[in-house]
Structure 1
Amino acid sequence: MLNRLAYRFHQTLEHHFPEQRLFLKSDTETRFIRLRPATQLIALVGGTLALAWTIVATAVIMMDTIGAGSAREQSARAQARYEERLNALSADRDLRAEEAARAQERYNLALAQVSDMQERLLASEDRRRELETGIDAIQETLRRTIKERDEARAEAERATLALNEQHGGATEIGRIRDAVATLEFLVNALGLTAEERDEMLAAADAAREEARLIAEEKRALEQRNDLIFSRLEEAVTVSMEPLNRMFREAGMSPEDLLKTIRRGYSGQGGPLTPISMSTSGAVPTPEELRANAILDGLDEMNMYRIAAFKLPFAIPVKDRFRWTSGFGYRRDPKGAGTRMHEGTDMAGAYGTPIYATADGVVVHAGWDNGYGRLVTIRHDFGVETRYAHLSQIRVEVGQRVSRGDRIGDMGNSGRSTGTHLHYEVRLNGSPVNPMTFIKAAKNVF
């Protein structure tokens, strides 16, 4: 049975693939190679499989090429959107900085107005006290004059009665003349006293009217001061909120920062001295308490400003650049597999100026194997920044720099594939994402 099936299969193969002979002829002899049907079938199957494999491999390569091109286009579009977003954030940051400057100008003007009003209020208060003292003196003099007038009138009446009871004689006539002269003198004195009394009453009325006007002016000043205090309190609150949010978004505790600044800047006799109208240690007035609260807020804003300049909230590159690599794990550009990228890369033109992002002290300025030419700056609060792959270093170890000082030029030194700046921020020795600080300051600076 098996032999019959094999025979039929062989007959079918011979029908489709008849036996072929390949002749090989030389100068002396002729040889041939016989190609059996089975051999031809095996060759056909092998060729078909090889052709199919070639087609599939070509299709896979073409699909990979098309997919890679699409991924590059998507990456380019995402990069363009990211740069547009960064430009919008930069414009918004500039607008916020301009608004903060205008708010500071308004505050300075309001503070000058408050100082002027306080001086006028003190002057009016002194004048009111002087008028009250003058009115009291006038009233006391008036009472004394009225009493003297009443006593003179009584004495005149007694003298008149005595004259009426006396009769004749030269002595009596002399006494009468003396009494009449005395009476005339008293009448004249009483007239002068009455005129002086009327003048004093008029002066007292004028003093009362002036005191009333001063009281009304004082009330108007108090209302105006209350309005100014309200605007100042609102301005301080509005200015403090973005600063507080900036530090919290950067992962820093505003309370700890303020405590550190207070310890480092604890000298006495600063420009913001608490307001006190009394020199006798009396209980401060509500206006004094509000003014002192505003001054405390301004002092806190000043400490926030000091802390902001000591932390890396700025961008190290001010010229045009492109973000090429962010913080986190990535595929190593040198082909060393997946590795942690502890900073962010900014690509720009060779020699682009690099600036310090916060106040601090240079602790390294030289060559470091992977970083190339490296500048390391130590800031307060345990923060450190690094600027790598520089083409030129413009600072020295131990030099104190401020935010915005030029520390080097962009280059391609060290382990690098092109001109760019590798920028790191370290907190207590551990790397953190620099964009945390840059984004936190987008609505403030």
Structure 2
Amino acid sequence: MKKRLSINFNAFLERHFPERRVFLRSDADTRFIRLRPSTQIIAYIGAASIVTWSIVATSILLMDSIGSGNFRDQAKRDQSAYERRLNELSSERDARAAEALAAQERFNAALSQISIMQSELLSSETRRRELETGIDVIQTTLRKTMKDREAARDQVARLSDGGAGVAANSVSDDAALNFLAAALESTAQERDKVVADAQDALLQAEEMKFDIQVMADKNDQIFRQLEEAMTVSVKPLDKMFRAAGMNTDRILNEVRKGYSGQGGPLMPLSFSTRGSAETAETKRANDILKDMDRLNLYRIAAQKAPFANPVKSAFRFTSGFGYRWGRMHKGTDFAAPHGTPVYSTADGVVIHAGWLSGYGKLVKIQHQFGIETRYAHLSKFRVKVGQRVSRGQRIGDMGNTGRSTGTHLHYEVRVGGKAVNPMIYIKAANDVF
């Protein structure tokens, strides 16, 4: 059976691939090469395999080229959309900054106005008390005068009754009677004057009461405006710090304790009650002043924490914080042209400005609250070790030094020596500024 199959297979090969001979002739000899059917089919299969592989490889290359073109187009579209979004965010940030500046100006104007109104209110209160005291004195004098008048009338009546029989015999009694009549008339005139003064004082007191009420209404309106301004200004800053995972009470206490400006350490402002009970208006004013103090502390703290972007020119994010290719990427990468300015994201002191292994040219800045920022792969330094820098100050130029595959900035934020995601601070600031 096997022999028959072999014979049939060989017959099939002979029919389709008959034995061929290839003659090789030289000057002195002629040789030939016998190509058996099995050799021919092997060669045929090999050639077919090569042709098939060429076709498949060419198709793959064409598909890859087409796919790469589509990917590049998509990447360009994504980059264009991302740059457009960044421009929108930048415009929105500028608008928020302008609104914050306008709110600050309105707040300063309202503060000046409330200070003037508070002084006028205190002056009005003093005048009202003086008028009340004057009215009390006038009323007391009036009562005394009326008593004196009644006593004089009684005395005149008694003299008139007793003097009917002795008028012709007593000149001194007539003189006393004339004196009492003159005193009575003077007392009546004085009484009328006191009554008129008392009425004028009452009218003035009513006018003062009306003025005080109008002033209180104006103060209430100013208080409401200030309270709204404080709410709009303080809450976003509080949200920004909390979004960055920072304990706001601890941060503000540290700023209040450590900051010294003109006039000494920061101390909360308050209106004095001069030993009397605190009124509702005084309490509202003190609450507003406390919010002003908190806003001022937030402003100082925001300058000392990295709530800013290290690159202000056009850029694109090329790599974020987290694991990349099995290794931890401890920062965020910003790609831009070579030499693009790099800025400090907060006030601090430069603790390193030199080469550091894979970082290349590196700048380290130590900030308050245990925060440190790193700016790696720079091409040029603009600061030196020990230099104190401010937020927004240029510290270097973007480059491609160290372990880098292209021009970019590797930006890190470390809290207590541990790397955290820089975008936490950048996004928190974008939501406010």
CA contact (8 A) 1:96 1:443 kept: no
Measure, in 1, the Cα distance between the counterparts of 2:382 and 2:5: 92
1:129 alignment partner in structure 2: 129
1:199 alignment partner in structure 2: 193
Q: 1:389 aligns with which of 369, 372, 377?
A: 377
Change in Cα spacing, 1:38 to 1:311, as seen in structure 2 (3 Å) is same
Aligned counterparts, 1:76-225, within 5 A: 76-166=76-166, 172=169, 175=170, 177-225=171-219
2:295 alignment partner in structure 1: 301
CA contact (8 A) 2:131 2:201 kept: yes
Amino acid at match of 1:411: G
Change in Cα spacing, 1:8 to 1:388, as seen in structure 2 (3 Å) is closer
Amino acid at match of 2:72: R
Change in Cα spacing, 1:167 to 1:301, as seen in structure 2 (3 Å) is closer
Segments of structure 2 that go 5 or more residues without pairing to the other structure are none
Deviations 1:239-287 (A, max 9, x none): 1221122112222222332232233248977575210232xx3321121
Deviations 1:146-194 (A, max 9, x none): 22222222222232233321386xxx1xx1x443343233222222221
Q: 2:400 aligns with which of 405, 412, 415?
A: 412
1:344 alignment partner in structure 2: 332
Measure, in 2, the Cα distance between the counterparts of 1:153 and 1:6: 168
Segments of structure 1 that go 5 or more residues without pairing to the other structure are 332-337
Q: 1:401 aligns with which of 366, 389, 393?
A: 389
Aligned counterparts, 1:198-347, within 5 A: 198-265=192-259, 270=266, 272-278=268-274, 281-330=275-324, 339-347=327-335
CA contact (8 A) 1:13 1:38 kept: yes
Residue 373 of structure 1 aligns to a residue in which SS? strand
TM-score (norm 2): 0.93
CA contact (8 A) 1:395 1:407 kept: yes
Alignment RMSD: 2.2
1:335 alignment partner in structure 2: none
Measure, in 1, the Cα distance between the counterparts of 2:265 and 2:385: 34
Change in Cα spacing, 1:271 to 1:5, as seen in structure 2 (3 Å) is closer
Amino acid at match of 1:198: D
Q: Which moved more, 1:257-266 or 1:295-304?
A: 257-266
Alpha-carbon offset, residue 361 of structure 1: 1.0
Deviations 1:180-231 (A, max 9, x none): 3432332222222211111110100010111111112212222222222222
Residue 401 of structure 2 aligns to a residue in which SS? coil
CA contact (8 A) 2:256 2:267 kept: no
Change in Cα spacing, 1:41 to 1:276, as seen in structure 2 (3 Å) is same
Amino acid at match of 2:397: D
Q: Which moved more, 1:411-420 or 1:123-132?
A: 411-420
Q: Identity of counterpart residues, as a percentage?
A: 56
Alpha-carbon offset, residue 306 of structure 1: 1.5
Measure, in 2, the Cα distance between the counterparts of 1:132 and 1:349: 78
Measure, in 1, the Cα distance between the counterparts of 2:149 and 2:358: 109
Measure, in 2, the Cα distance between the counterparts of 1:7 and 1:140: 152
Residue 337 of structure 2 aligns to a residue in which SS? coil
Residue 212 of structure 2 aligns to a residue in which SS? helix
Residue 67 of structure 2 aligns to a residue in which SS? helix
Measure, in 2, the Cα distance between the counterparts of 1:409 and 1:388: 10
Amino acid at match of 1:182: A
Measure, in 1, the Cα distance between the counterparts of 2:84 and 2:265: 48
Alpha-carbon offset, residue 422 of structure 1: 1.9
CA contact (8 A) 2:110 2:226 kept: yes
Deviations 1:343-371 (A, max 9, x none): 22223333332211101111101122222
Q: Which moved more, 1:116-125 or 1:30-39?
A: 30-39
CA contact (8 A) 1:92 1:443 kept: no
Residue 105 of structure 2 aligns to a residue in which SS? helix
Measure, in 2, the Cα distance between the counterparts of 1:203 and 1:384: 75
Q: Which moved more, 1:410-419 or 1:294-303?
A: 410-419
Amino acid at match of 1:276: S
CA contact (8 A) 1:364 1:376 kept: yes
The number of residue pairs the alignment matches comes to: 431
Measure, in 1, the Cα distance between the counterparts of 2:382 and 2:87: 29
Measure, in 1, the Cα distance between the counterparts of 2:167 and 2:13: 192
Measure, in 1, the Cα distance between the counterparts of 2:265 and 2:299: 19
Measure, in 2, the Cα distance between the counterparts of 1:293 and 1:268: 22
Change in Cα spacing, 1:4 to 1:444, as seen in structure 2 (3 Å) is closer
